């Protein structure tokens, strides 16, 4: 492939990536990975034939490093997984079957172990147990018990400074905790981030929103205000103090980030409204105004998913 400017090259890669992902997901089909009895999860994901390239090859002035590129997954009430890949044109491809997990699953989140911008597996909480599931395998590894104490859980990228993605979880008293990933699905002990996080209804993040190369998160409070927490890369104090992004976000009943949807190198935010329509807020890379105006990428029906991840 001839080298072109960063963003153009990036889009070509994205189209190829989306096509490969879509083809392989279709190929795995409906018969793949039917789960055994709960809570053993299984799921499938196509290997990406074209991987995101590192930033040095395609660097541009306004892009510090490339955001992760992953499919968006939904789990319905039966535990069936559907996947939607970025289509390379700012939206998502059509639905593909992606396996099944226990219908009792409480949380699912994608995790990237080697900082190549592509998830390698899932952390899943079922019946108070945290399992790790590597993509394209059946069965799972028990990571730990006692996870029923958490009411929010996600891998928001790399928050602790090492290469592997980490996990954050909020307990029912509102304390946010950080577990550092070892890069194989297992985790360190937890580190206390701080209290008061039960003011938030949603927490999302995967990648750098502010252009400094450190992964950030956003959180929506009960009054509908969305806040930015800039990542520090220091596991002992992983976030700076919050800054206000804007209000009116209570129109949404879910917020999730899987990475870069429009493949411009900056991570984006996906929001689902109460009518089941899906929107993308494209990241700008600027902390002062981290998102552009929303773009509708799903006309309806997205409320069929109990979990988006």
Q: Which is nearer to Ca ion, 126 or 159 (CB)?
A: 159
Contact call for residue 14 and Ca ion (CB under 5 A): no
C-alpha of 2 from chain center: 31
DSSP string, 112-153: -SSSSSS--EEEEEETTEEEEEETTEES-EEEEE-GGGEEEE
Contact call for residue 118 and Ca ion (CB under 5 A): yes
Question: Which residue from 64, 210, 232, 257 is in contact with Ca ion, where contact means CB under 5 A?
Answer: 210
Nearest distance from C-beta of residue 56 to Ca ion, angstroms = 18
> What's the Cα-to-Cα distance from 136 to each of 21, 28, 305, rounded to whole Å?
13, 10, 21
221 has which bridge partners? 200
- Residues 120-179 within binding reach of Ca ion (CB under 5 A): 120
Nearest distance from C-beta of residue 63 to Ca ion, angstroms = 10
Q: Which two tokens stand for residue 84?
A: 């939607």
State how beta strands 121-126 and 129-134 pair: antiparallel
Q: Which is nearer to Ca ion, 102 or 109 (CB)?
A: 109
Rg of the chain over Cα atoms, rounded to whole angstroms, equals 18
Spatial neighbors of 276 by CB under 8 A, at least 6 apart, are 300, 301, 302, 303, 304
Q: Which is nearer to Ca ion, 147 or 264 (CB)?
A: 264
Question: Which residue from 165, 166, 221, 262 is in contact with Ca ion, where contact means CB under 5 A?
Answer: 262
- Residues 271-300 within binding reach of Ca ion (CB under 5 A): 282
Nearest distance from C-beta of residue 262 to Ca ion, angstroms = 4
CA distance 164 to 25: 25
Q: Which is nearer to Ca ion, 116 or 151 (CB)?
A: 116
Helix (H, G, I), strand (E, B) or coil at 170: strand
Contact call for residue 87 and Ca ion (CB under 5 A): no
- Residues that bind Ca ion (rule: CB under 5 A) add up to a total of 16
Nearest distance from C-beta of residue 287 to Ca ion, angstroms = 7
220 has which bridge partners? 202, 226
Question: Which residue from 87, 112, 165, 221 is in contact with Ca ion, where contact means CB under 5 A?
Answer: 112
Instruction: Decide: 150 and 169 in contact? Cβ < 8 Å.
Output: yes
Helix (H, G, I), strand (E, B) or coil at 193: strand
Question: Which residue from 229, 264, 297, 308 is in contact with Ca ion, where contact means CB under 5 A?
Answer: 264
Q: Which is nearer to Ca ion, 35 or 217 (CB)?
A: 217
Q: Which two tokens stand for residue 18?
A: 């989306």
Q: Is 217 left (phi over 0), alpha (psi -120 to 50) or beta?
A: beta
Q: Which is nearer to Ca ion, 126 or 263 (CB)?
A: 263
Q: Which is nearer to Ca ion, 106 or 230 (CB)?
A: 230
Contact call for residue 208 and Ca ion (CB under 5 A): yes
Residues that bind Ca ion (CB under 5 A): 112, 114, 116, 118, 120, 208, 210, 212, 214, 216, 260, 262, 264, 266, 268, 282
């Amino acid at each position: 492939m001839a080298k072109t400017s960063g963003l153009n090259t990036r889009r070509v890669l994205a189209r190829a990536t989306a096509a490969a992902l879509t083809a392989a997901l279709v190929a795995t089909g409906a018969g793949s990975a039917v789960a055994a009895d709960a809570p053993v999860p299984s799921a499938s994901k196509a290997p990406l034939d074209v991987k995101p390239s590192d930033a040095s090859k395609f660097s541009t002035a306004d892009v510090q490093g490339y955001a992760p590129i992953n499919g968006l997954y939904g789990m319905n009430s039966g535990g069936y997984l559907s996947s939607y890949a970025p289509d390379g044109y700012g939206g998502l491809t059509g639905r593909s079957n992606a396996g099944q997990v226990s219908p009792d699953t409480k949380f699912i989140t994608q995790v990237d172990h080697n900082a190549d911008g592509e998830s390698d597996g899932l952390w899943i909480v079922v019946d108070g147990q945290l399992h790790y599931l590597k993509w394209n395998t059946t069965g799972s590894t028990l990571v730990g018990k006692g996870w029923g104490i958490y009411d929010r859980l996600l891998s928001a990228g790399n928050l602790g400074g090492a290469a592997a993605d980490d996990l954050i979880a909020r307990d029912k008293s509102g304390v946010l905790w950080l577990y550092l990933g070892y890069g194989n699905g297992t985790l360190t002990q937890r580190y206390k981030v701080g209290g008061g996080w039960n003011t938030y209804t949603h927490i999302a993040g995967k990648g750098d929103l502010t252009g400094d190369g450190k992964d950030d998160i956003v959180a929506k409070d009960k009054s509908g205000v969305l806040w930015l927490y800039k990542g520090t890369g220091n596991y002992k104090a992983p976030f700076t103090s919050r800054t206000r992004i804007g209000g009116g976000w209570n129109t949404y009943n879910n917020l999730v980030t899987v990475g870069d949807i429009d493949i411009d190198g900056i991570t984006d935010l996906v929001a689902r409204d109460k009518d089941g329509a899906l929107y993308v807020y494209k990241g700008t890379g600027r902390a002062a105004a981290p998102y552009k105006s929303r773009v509708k990428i799903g006309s309806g029906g997205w409320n069929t998913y109990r979990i988006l991840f």
